[in-house]
Amino acid sequence: MNIEISNIANLPSRFGTFKVKAFKEPCADGCKEHLVIYKENLQDVPTVRIHSECLTGDAIGSLKCDCRDQLEYALEFIERTNGMVIYLRQEGRNIGLLNKINAYALQDNGLNTIEANHQLGFEADERTYEIVPYILNHFKIEKIKLLTNNPHKINSLAGIEVVERVPIIMDSNEHNSDYLDVKKDDMGHLL
């Protein structure tokens, strides 16, 4: 993989003081720039959260999903436990922002999150995690505790041993309870 890697910078945040490093990955329509957020004194077997970008949730505070709550939970968690968040730029389960908004428009007309993706010609979840082992290898990390409710992620990290799954416990709201039910019932998430 022809990946460009930034220098290390300090990032003071409302969740704590982190180190950050960016990884620029070539892709079909240009490149994807991912961000790794981590504590200076990383544990030998760190707790790692893999977060996929969700502009509407992460930046706007959308209540249609639980992305921002999960991101904040993860940043607080790694601050406490000296872990790492890998922020992957694969918006809208990797269909991109424009397609995601089209899917939201279909959801406004009664489709659920999976049906809307299918109507647009996409799988329910198009995300990939090949870059994650590359990033962990870069940090010389071979074993992790994975902060996730998504069992598919555990098996998608070639060459990385997941010694423990650490669950994320979240409350639902009136806007995302149907979405969370679909995640649990139809996508196999452990909620």
In angstroms, the CA 25 to CA 180 distance is 30
Question: Does residue 65 interact with Zn ion by CB under 5 A?
Answer: yes
The upper half-sphere exposure of residue 36, i.e. CA atoms within 13 Å in the direction of its Cβ, equals 24
* Minimum distance from residue 128 beta carbon to Zn ion (Å): 17
- Residue 57 sits in the site that holds Zn ion (CB under 5 A): yes
C-beta closer to Zn ion: residue 45 or 55? 55
Nearer to Zn ion, 21 or 69 (CB): 69
User: Judged by CB under 5 A, which stretch of 1-9, 29-37, 52-60, 85-93 contacts Zn ion?
Assistant: 52-60
Contacts of 84 (CB under 8 A, 6+ apart): 36, 37, 38, 39, 42, 46, 47, 48, 49, 78, 139, 141
- Piece in contact with Zn ion (CB under 5 A), picked from 12-20, 48-56, 77-85, 132-140: 48-56
> Could you identify the residue written with the tokens 């945040």?
13
Rounded Cα distance, 122 and 52, in Å: 17
Kindly calculate the radius of gyration of the chain based on its CA atoms and give it in whole angstroms. Answer: 16
Task: Return the amino acid letter for 79.
Answer: E
Q: Does 46 bind Zn ion (CB under 5 A)?
A: no
Binding residues among 92-151 for Zn ion as defined by CB under 5 A: none
To the nearest whole angstrom, how small is the minimum distance from the Cβ of residue 100 to Zn ion? 9
Residue closer to Zn ion, measured from CB, 65 or 85: 65
By CB under 5 A, name the binding residues for Zn ion.
54, 57, 65, 67
